[in-house]
Amino acid sequence: MDKAKLQLQGKEYELPVLVGTENEVGIDVAALRGASGAITYDPAYGNTGSCSSAITFIDGEQGILRYRGYPIEEVAEHASFPEVCYLLIYGELPTPAQLARFEDQLTRHTLLHEDMKKLFDGFPATAHPMAVLSAMVASLSAYYPQRGGEDELDLNIIRLLAKTPTLAAFSHKKSVGQAFVYPRNDLSYTQNFLHMMFAVAAEPYRPSEVLDRALTMLLILHADHEQNCSTSTVRMVGSSQANLFASCSAGVSALWGPLHGGANQEVLEMLQHIRADGGDYKKYMAMAKDKSSGFKLMGFGHRVYKNFDPRAKILKKAADAVLAEMGVADPLLDIAKNLEEIALSDPFFIERKLYPNVDFYSGIIYRAMGIPTDMFTVLFALGRMPGWIAQWKEMRDDPKTRISRPRQIYVGHTQRPFVPLSLRSEAKAPVLVPA
């Protein structure tokens, strides 16, 4: 195996080099501090591998995304969402019998403990559904505590996958003041979610095939994305041996931020804003390039993809197809395409390798499906749940896992003597907290 050499303060250190199955190279610094006293410094972890993983492969330069080796384009075209959950969590595509059993289990665990319904009453109707979802996912650990055994963990994995759509749909029903709609065992995973979201007690509801297919594709495209912000959060929380529900609830919270999964809501609101302002998208492109404007083109840019986001490519095509199939003409789609077209030929975006990401077109499809804007990130969480579970499980099963505990470079005061209260001068005190 190759070694990397590091020269530091007159000494040389040899560091092992790791090479992944796709020839990614990493310098193993695990023993560095012990040998040299120095740590590595990499804020936001742009150059740091936090684990080895066999779940998802991304080549950001080439625009490649694969789940367990299978290209995202093929998975999105051929698989059902439960198949993808199984693939990510257990490592292989299920056989027909394995899939039938898995789907049956998912169907049988969709109901919530009746007491959990009371928790929804405590939230204001205006609560953002991501706040509700994160609280509800964490509270599953109160109803299904993890006491031991692998069988129990497998059951909790099923429970989490099966109940997330119910929790998500109930949080929507709560926000619009409608009665909760219970799951139905004759419907598939995706059909069931649409049923719980859109059915009302007063009339029968059958989810359309177009909606079902669109939702399946969206969930699959969001299902995993290796060590992103929310997944790293799940692994970080899980590394303390916190339970599955608590760890995944932390993932929901991390996903909510506008720089991560929350961007899908922000994109739609940005497009609506541009339209309401007369549709002058060129003005907003100019603002995006002017750092002093404070305006960012939401849905653009990615830490890893520096060529194109393969998910965005699929979604752009799908947006046209889904809207056409549903007979929806959305002026926001035209604004989005115009923004993209300018960005792809503008040196500011080309030099910074800024391309549309998964959130740029997904909102337009959600909107055409009738999903309210503040539910967009919830849909992302629903899709990402199997990825979080798979990564949590891989972390837990890895004998090398230790509690995650980064170091820091301390830049505060060096040691100074404590000043008693009576000797502290008002006149010289810096103003730290506004009066």
For position 195 contacting ligand ACO by CB under 6 A, the verdict is no
Q: Which stretch binds ligand ACO (CB under 6 A): 177-185, 292-300, 362-370, 390-398?
A: 292-300
Q: Do the Cβ atoms of 166 and 196 come closer than 8 Å?
A: yes
For position 361 contacting ligand ACO by CB under 6 A, the verdict is no
**C-alpha–C-alpha distance, residues 236 and 231, integer Å:** 8
Among 18, 200, 259, 329, the residue binding ligand ACO under the rule CB under 6 A is: 259
State yes or no: is 302 an active-site residue.
Answer: yes
**C-alpha–C-alpha distance, residues 393 and 153, integer Å:** 9
For position 376 contacting ligand ACO by CB under 6 A, the verdict is no
For position 274 contacting ligand ACO by CB under 6 A, the verdict is no
Q: Which stretch binds ligand ACO (CB under 6 A): 146-154, 205-213, 246-254, 295-303?
A: 295-303
For position 221 contacting ligand ACO by CB under 6 A, the verdict is no
For position 82 contacting ligand ACO by CB under 6 A, the verdict is no
Q: Which stretch binds ligand ACO (CB under 6 A): 29-37, 64-72, 269-277, 298-306?
A: 298-306
128-147 binders of ligand ACO (CB under 6 A): none
Kindly report the three-state secondary structure assignment for every residue of the chain: CCEEEEEECCEEEEEEEEECCCCCEEECCCCHHHHHCCCCCCHHHCCCCCCCCCCEEEECCCCEEEECCEEHHHHHHHCCHHHHHHHHHHCCCCCHHHHHHHHHHHHHCCCCCHHHHHHHHCCCCCCCHHHHHHHHHHHHHHHCCCCCCHHHHHHHHHHHHHHHHHHHHHHHHHHHCCCCCCCCCCCCHHHHHHHHHHCECCECCCCCHHHHHHHHHHHHHCCCCCCCHHHHHHHHHHCCCCCHHHHHHHHHHHHHCCCCCCHHHHHHHHHHHHHHCCCCHHHHHHHHHCHHHCCCCCCECCCCCCCCCHHHHHHHHHHHHHHHHHCCCCHHHHHHHHHHHHHHHCHHHHHCCCCECHHHHHHHHHHHCCCCHHHHHHHHHHHHHHHHHHHHHHHHHCCCCCCCCCCCCCCCCCCCCCCCHHHCCCCCCCCCCCC
What are the strands of the beta sheet with 25-27, ordered from one edge?
A: 3-8, 11-19, 25-27
For position 354 contacting ligand ACO by CB under 6 A, the verdict is yes
Among 215, 297, 314, 369, the residue binding ligand ACO under the rule CB under 6 A is: 297
Q: Which stretch binds ligand ACO (CB under 6 A): 12-20, 316-324, 357-365, 399-407?
A: 357-365
Among 83, 103, 359, 374, the residue binding ligand ACO under the rule CB under 6 A is: 359
For position 263 contacting ligand ACO by CB under 6 A, the verdict is yes
What are the strands of the beta sheet with 64-67, ordered from one edge?
A: 56-59, 64-67, 70-71
For position 300 contacting ligand ACO by CB under 6 A, the verdict is yes
390-429 binders of ligand ACO (CB under 6 A): none
Q: Which stretch binds ligand ACO (CB under 6 A): 48-56, 57-65, 253-261, 418-426?
A: 253-261
Q: Which stretch binds ligand ACO (CB under 6 A): 131-139, 200-208, 259-267, 368-376?
A: 259-267
State yes or no: is 359 an active-site residue.
Answer: yes
CB of 280 to ligand ACO, least distance (A): 17
**C-alpha–C-alpha distance, residues 214 and 142, integer Å:** 34
300 has which bridge partners? 356
CB of 35 to ligand ACO, least distance (A): 31
CB of 386 to ligand ACO, least distance (A): 16
CB of 389 to ligand ACO, least distance (A): 18
For position 260 contacting ligand ACO by CB under 6 A, the verdict is yes
Amino acid letter, residue 382:
L
For position 358 contacting ligand ACO by CB under 6 A, the verdict is yes
For position 288 contacting ligand ACO by CB under 6 A, the verdict is yes
Among 352, 370, 398, 407, the residue binding ligand ACO under the rule CB under 6 A is: 352
Among 165, 299, 310, 387, the residue binding ligand ACO under the rule CB under 6 A is: 299
Query: Among residues 273 and 303, whose Cβ is nearest to ligand ACO?
Result: 303
CB of 221 to ligand ACO, least distance (A): 10
Choice among 302, 330, 346, 374 that is catalytic: 302
CB of 33 to ligand ACO, least distance (A): 26
**C-alpha–C-alpha distance, residues 61 and 353, integer Å:** 10
CB of 383 to ligand ACO, least distance (A): 11
Q: Do the Cβ atoms of 94 and 149 come closer than 8 Å?
A: no
Q: Which residues bind ligand ACO (CB under 6 A)?
A: 259-261, 263, 288, 296-303, 352, 354, 357-359
Catalytic annotation, residues: 302, 359
